[in-house]
Structure 1
């Protein structure tokens, strides 16, 4: 019998290659929101990323106006067609869409998702339906409709914040029970809701509804949360699913990494995520979070 326990790995044997991920969302020149946050996290975790910007801005609009470059309908559709017809489409194992620069992008991205899934039926599609926060929409009504009608019905995973969940479901989201009931109305097998009602005081919760049950992960509040944490959370959750983690474990690790990044960045006095400085939070988060299963009134557990 050959003892292989101490046999060194063959350096010529390639490691298992992770799938490529198409990310279609905003791009800023300065800052760590949108594509800047998503791409950094996914590439740091070893995934190859195809980035299709839906809009280019100087910085986060919360800092004030800057020039907005949005691909026109023909140009954006042509770019999508290039990707669909590329010889590398089979490399793609997931698609993540976020902020739309214009409503016409919804239909084109829907075609892209369909083409990826036709080529690779196991590919995951995560839709982060970014339309607003803190009680306000920050995209036009037609862009909201594009998210709702063109993209959300195709999703394997939806990641709305609490405001977005309430808007799309038309239901109250003031308690954990109500939030879970609202999440169950959305057209995806997995719905992850950030900023959900927490059971503990001075805590934040992220809720996940799945076909096999529902879960919540809580952590302490962070004063001065930096911008872009929702983008990071969606990217980390998708990465964990692609790595083979189960739903509860994927949620806990994604929330832990996002919480640690937010806490460390805020403690450093930054209103932006300090991605490069605290990138270890992405790779091996150490922040303590509390995970629990939610018992549903309908009998799901």
Structure 2
């Protein structure tokens, strides 16, 4: 069985960070080892939360503890997401190096959570570190549209522009770039777009965009988790991408149907593993 060390936030109530990512990976048959970067009462888009970031030294110490009992070589991938402080970013790099020193085949999948002015809050300095350092370290990255723009330093408006940006980013290190939410001025307003790019492939996919009054948080965390799990299970790039699109749609649709704000992960668990509705991906013209 594959094992993924998941370094992300934890919320006591709701689904964000590891509280959104661990369950889908386990439901798909992949062991998830959660290492929490923060412990919050709830995610930050409620506007009020309590809790604090974990000391970066403790993150490294906890992984050292895994190594001390001899199981770190069984770690097949590291997935990082929300970071609570800039020093945690360096700790993640140190952890990735420690894992790769005992398992040279392990992958590092970076979800570069940078936050927004009106939504997800991240501490100053984290975005700068993610932009300047993480592409050289990561084997794969999963930015959303805004994060991809910040990684390449320019505005992107079409699939072709995003594809070119992914290729540019890959020259700095990542072998795969998954754009979890792609804005395309040519796409219908009621569709949610995703893009995945590797050296020899590129695939675009769409699912319905549900008209929530406020979009649920944690969708990107579920997206990264499902994609990493499917890749660990041996799927092709296209198959992992299509399963991710379908599984995330099932979760979001269940949330919409229930009239909820927090993701209905448990209600949609069977469809995370075996989605009933599938969305075929296609190769963009510029691939």
TM-score (norm 1): 0.87
Structure 2 residue 205 is matched with structure 1 residue 217: yes
Deviations 1:62-113 (A, max 9, x none): 1122212212243333334334444110111111000001111111111111
The alignment partner of 2:192 has SS state of strand
8 A contact 1:206–1:216 mirrored in 2: yes
Higher relative contact order (CA 8 A, sep 6+): 2
Gapped runs of 5+ residues in structure 1? 1-17
| Aligned pair partner of 1:96 in 72, 79, 102 | 79
Question: How far apart are residue 149 of structure 1 and its match?
Answer: 3.9
Name the CA distance, whole Å, in 1 between partners of 2:187 and 2:155: 20
Question: How far apart are residue 142 of structure 1 and its match?
Answer: 1.3
Alignment of 1:166-205 (within 5 A): 166-186=149-169, 187=172, 188-198=174-184, 199-201=186-188, 202-205=190-193
| Aligned pair partner of 2:48 in 65, 76, 80 | 65
What residue in structure 2 maps to residue 14 of structure 1? none
Name the CA distance, whole Å, in 1 between partners of 2:208 and 2:95: 39
User: Against the structure 1 CA distance between its residues 135 and 290, is the aligned structure 2 distance closer, same or farther, given a 3 Å change threshold?
Assistant: farther
Deviations 1:106-150 (A, max 9, x none): 111111111212222221211000012488773233111332344
The alignment partner of 1:62 has SS state of helix
Gapped runs of 5+ residues in structure 2? none
What residue in structure 2 maps to residue 159 of structure 1? 142
What residue in structure 2 maps to residue 206 of structure 1? 194
Name the CA distance, whole Å, in 2 between partners of 1:84 and 1:237: 26
User: Against the structure 1 CA distance between its residues 117 and 266, is the aligned structure 2 distance closer, same or farther, given a 3 Å change threshold?
Assistant: same
| Aligned pair partner of 2:14 in 31, 56, 81 | 31
What residue in structure 1 maps to residue 99 of structure 2? 116
What residue in structure 2 maps to residue 243 of structure 1? 233
Deviations 1:163-222 (A, max 9, x none): 111111112211111111112222311111122135541211101111012110112221
User: Against the structure 1 CA distance between its residues 73 and 122, is the aligned structure 2 distance closer, same or farther, given a 3 Å change threshold?
Assistant: closer
8 A contact 1:132–1:163 mirrored in 2: no
8 A contact 1:205–1:218 mirrored in 2: yes
Structure 2 residue 247 is matched with structure 1 residue 257: yes
The alignment partner of 1:126 has SS state of strand
The alignment partner of 2:282 has SS state of strand
Question: How far apart are residue 290 of structure 1 and its match?
Answer: 3.4
Which stretch shifts more, 141-150 or 162-171?
141-150
Structure 2 residue 274 is matched with structure 1 residue 291: no
User: Against the structure 1 CA distance between its residues 79 and 21, is the aligned structure 2 distance closer, same or farther, given a 3 Å change threshold?
Assistant: same
User: Against the structure 1 CA distance between its residues 96 and 70, is the aligned structure 2 distance closer, same or farther, given a 3 Å change threshold?
Assistant: same
TM-score (norm 2): 0.91
8 A contact 2:76–2:106 mirrored in 1: yes
Name the CA distance, whole Å, in 2 between partners of 1:194 and 1:84: 32
The ranges of structure 1 where at least 4 consecutive aligned residues each deviate by more than 6 angstroms after the TM superposition are 134-137
What residue in structure 2 maps to residue 230 of structure 1? 220
Deviations 1:243-282 (A, max 9, x none): 1111111101101100111012111101111111111121
User: Against the structure 1 CA distance between its residues 133 and 255, is the aligned structure 2 distance closer, same or farther, given a 3 Å change threshold?
Assistant: farther
